[in-house]
Amino acid sequence: MGMPWHMPGERGGDCLPAAIEFPGAGAVPSLVRMNPVKIYTKATCPYCIRAKQLLDMKGVSYEEIRIDAEPARRSEMIAAANGRTTVPQIFIAGRHVGGCDDLYALDDSGRLDQMLGLGVQPGV
């Protein structure tokens, strides 16, 4: 009685840590909404999964380009990523961020949230 009802796996339910809070869609500023995050991936790439996990945790939506599913777009990725051939390659608001390690390093430095415009709203 009085217990909130949760779907299995729902945030706040038994399967995910309640400490992870996802910002609402309004937390992502217009710059990033207009120039969204783009990530080139392959389905089985653990670095890709890890990079997407970080973005998911921050509540950031992204365009995923699966170069294993669309091999023709690999050359587009390499050209945009200054010759880098590994996946993931990540872009924020048109700027090349690099791969998964680069994304996490950017997060550790606090600059990722800045680039995503997170935490810059009044009162946050």
Ligand X SMILES: N[C@@H](CCC(=O)N[C@@H](CS)C(=O)NCC(=O)O)C(=O)O
d(CA 50, CA 95): 20
The DSSP H or E segment spanning 82 is none
Helix H or strand E segment including 111: helix 111-116
Rounded to 5°, the CA angle 102-90-80 comes to 115
| Binding of ligand X by 71 (CB under 6 A) | no
Residue 95 pairs in a beta bridge with 92
Ramachandran assignment for 32, one of left (phi > 0), alpha (psi -120 to 50 degrees), beta (any other): alpha
Q: What minimum distance in Å lies between the beta carbon of 120 and ligand X? A: 27
- Which one, of 16, 93, 101, lies nearest residue 54 by Cα? 101
The residue nearest ligand X at its CB is 99
User: Does the footprint of ligand X cover residue 45 (CB under 6 A)?
Assistant: yes
Shortest separation between residue 48's beta carbon and ligand X, angstroms? 7
Size of the site for ligand X (CB under 6 A): 11
Is residue 63 within 8 Å of 36, Cβ to Cβ? yes
Q: Tell me which of 70, 101, 109, 111 binds ligand X, using CB under 6 A.
A: 101
The window from 17-25, 26-34, 80-88, 106-114 that contacts ligand X (CB under 6 A) reads 80-88
87 binds ligand X (CB under 6 A): yes
Q: Is 46 in the site for ligand X (CB under 6 A)?
A: yes
118 binds ligand X (CB under 6 A): no
Binding flag, residue 37, ligand X (CB under 6 A) = no
Contact residues toward ligand X (CB under 6 A) are 42, 45-47, 85-88, 99-101
